[in-house]
Amino acid sequence: MKIKLAVITALCIFLCTTALAERLTVESTIANIRSGPGTEHDIIWNVEKFHPLFILEKSGNWYRFRDFEGDEGWIHNSLLTNTPAVITIKDTCNIRSGPGTNNAILFTVEKGIPFKVIKKEGNWIQIEHADGDQGWVHKSLVW
C-alpha cells in the first residue's frame, strides 16, 4: 500500500509540474536573469532576443525557468513572448540556404545562439536571428 501511495504521489507531482510547464521566448534585445523573483535580486547573467526558456514556476509577474543547458533563473514576464524559438546545442552548426544538406552553407554558428522559428519542413527549421540573418537548420542541432 505504501508503494502505491508513493507512486501515485510522484505521478501527481510530475503531472502537476508538467501541466504548468510552458516554453516561452525572450522578446527584448537583452534580458536580465535574476537569482529570485524581483529587481532586488542579483542579476546572474543576461540572455539575448529569441532565447527559449522552459517555464517552471510563476510568482506574480516573475517566471522561474530552465534553459537549454539546465541553468535556472528568474525573468520578468514583460520580457517574454510565445513566439516559437530554438537555440543551437552543438559546438558548430551550419545554417543553410534551404532545407537539406544539398543546400549551400550560408554561415556557421556556435552553441548557444538563439533564433526565431519561421517555419518547419520535415526535419528542417527555417530560422531568423535577431540581427535579421536567416537560413535553415536541422532539428538535431537545436533545442
Task: Compute the distance between CA of residue 112 and CA of residue 124 in angstroms, rounded to an integer.
Answer: 18
What is the distance of C-alpha 87 from the center of its chain?
6
Domain layout of the chain by residue ranges: 2-81, 85-141
3-class secondary-structure state, position 12? helix
Topology of the domain covering 85-141: SH3 type barrels. (2.30.30)
> CATH for 2-81?
2.30.30.40
Q: pLDDT band for 49, please (50, 70, 90 cuts).
A: very high
Q: What is the pLDDT of residue 3?
A: 55
The confidence score (pLDDT) of residue 4 equals 52
pLDDT-based confidence at residue 50 (cuts at 50, 70, 90): very high
Quick: pLDDT tens for 54-92: 999 999 999 999 999 999 999 999 999 999 999 999 999
Same CATH fold, 85-141 and 2-81?
yes
Q: What is the pLDDT of residues 12-41, one digit of tens each?
A: 444 444 445 699 999 999 999 999 999 999
Mean pLDDT of the region 100-126 = 98
Cα–Cα distances (Å) from 38 to 73, 93, 130, in that order, read: 11, 36, 27
Mean pLDDT for the chain?
Answer: 90
The whole model's pTM is what? 0.84
